[in-house]
Amino acid sequence: MRMVDLIKKKRDGEALDKQEIEYIINGYTSGNIPDYQMSAFNMAIYFSGMNDRETTDLTIAMARSGKMADLSAINGIKVDKHSTGGVADTTTLVLAPLVAACGAPVAKMAGRGLGHTGGTLDKLESIPGMRVSLPMDEFINNVNTIGLAVTGQTEDLAPADKKLYALRDVTATVDVMPLIASSIMSKKLAGGADAIVLDVKVGEGAFMKDYGDALKLAELMVNIGENAGKRTVAAITDMNQPLGLAIGNSLEVIEACETLKGRGCKDLLDVCLFLGSHMLMLAGVVASGKEAVSMLEDALKSGRGFAKLKEMVAAQGGNCETLENYSLLPQAKIKHEIKAERDLYLSRLHAEQLGLCAMRLGAGRATKDDVIDLSVGIMLNKKVGDFVRKDEIIATVYANDEERLNEVLPDILNAIETSGDFVERPKLIYSLVSKDGIERFSLFTNVNR
């Protein structure tokens, strides 16, 4: 078997078999296949595509390129949730405790933020003392003991993906559907979950800007998961505006706490209830979405969800007092309020631009090596479709550098558009993709409520 022959085969539109795909992934991971040949192979996929069976074989080979997490010691059906990335997407910090409080074990392997998208690990590290790199035995024990743990992905988890992604980034092959799907799903399969709930973001603040592309990606990932023996569903949700109100690490911890206390952003909560309902169904806790949402709402109202977050933070060394006394979290020195100059409606909140502005303030990374400022960011007071009275605060910008604030502020203002006329609230949840097909929704908020 020669790599040059496999490149030619894929270039000419032929399907590769499982052994050929394994040869390529194992050879590239070990260093026997050079970057220039793998670049040619990626470009051949760009032009010729891959069928569902090839994409599944590619994903499984990537997942098996390193250690596969063994979570069999965790009691119950383990359901993982993955978001394709967005702005003010604080779902894990709200969703995981609520689902765990309802009896489904949540063993979450999370990542860090890059660019305009935030990372769960960075948010959790805003909490003093919080450990987000747990040994596997402690990770499993915490899930069995309290039902919930969040840890970083280990370096030996799907190493083929790390190597391939770095290559795709510099060879114009990032936006190749089979490679996008296999990159996401290889980490999910290697993570050891029994079932997977995917949150595919669509809109200007998401990787997928077009609904049609988001739908294709969702269908492809569901097919991969199901073909690999994992129950998988994918929700397609809006990212044309930030999901929650907080953009920035400690700010998002505060928002998660406020949401679990029943005072948070409705959009954020609705998406969490929707995703959580499917996690509970896949975990076998309930049989219907209506029953699942009722159970999640009870966990919210009773305070069991917030109590579960505190349990997790305590178990991982974090200071639980910060979840009640927010002044103990990292604090920015400068607070700049943006107020309405007249009565108006918010007509657009450009998610990607606001995410990039928060990154430039220091809340995110332009490169993987950047050090972030956990205290800075943007806190919105309103969402698209909301009415704002004259002199009411639209947003507050938190910064630690006056010069940087003055540089970023004009772009924040440009990202907030207003209108004197009534503005309809945008759709929040578009559709759900499962092995049974596509279920489309017309409501603006949670379809199960």
CA-only gyration radius of the chain, Å: 22
Burial 292-329 (b: 16+ CB within 10 A, else e): bbbbbbebbeeebbbebbbbbbebbebeeebbeeeeeb
Determine the angle formed by the axes of helices 159-169 and 52-63, rounding to 10 degrees: 120
**Do residues 329 and 252 make contact, with C-beta atoms less than 8 angstroms apart?**
no
**Residue of 83, 126, 182, 183 marked catalytic:** 183
Select from 195, 181, 149, 128 the least CA-distant residue to 315. Answer: 149
Determine whether 365 is an active site residue: no
Determine whether 133 is an active site residue: no
Determine whether 116 is an active site residue: no
**Residue of 168, 201, 360, 383 marked catalytic:** 168
Select from 261, 291, 258, 285 the least CA-distant residue to 273. Answer: 291
* 199, β-bridge pairs: 83, 235
Determine whether 82 is an active site residue: yes
The length of the chain is: 449
Q: From the centroid of its chain, how far is CA 433?
A: 17
**Residue of 89, 161, 267, 373 marked catalytic:** 161
Q: Is 265 helix (H, G, I), strand (E, B) or coil?
A: coil
Determine whether 187 is an active site residue: yes
Select from 412, 411, 333 the least CA-distant residue to 378. Answer: 412
* Alpha-carbon distances, residue 284 vs 103, 279, 398 (angstroms): 10, 9, 43
* H-helix or E-strand spanning residue 109: strand 106-110
Using CA atoms, how far apart are residues 127 and 250, in angstroms rounded to an integer?
A: 8
Using CA atoms, how far apart are residues 433 and 441, in angstroms rounded to an integer?
A: 11
**Residue of 64, 82, 112, 163 marked catalytic:** 82
Which residues make Cβ contacts (< 8 Å) with residue 353, sequence separation at least 6? Answer: 411, 414, 415
Which residues make Cβ contacts (< 8 Å) with residue 448, sequence separation at least 6? Answer: 273, 274, 277, 289, 290, 292, 293
**Residue of 81, 116, 123, 187 marked catalytic:** 187
Number of continuous H segments (helices) and E segments (strands) in the chain = 16, 14
Q: From the centroid of its chain, how far is CA 213?
A: 17
Active site residues: 82, 161, 168, 183, 187
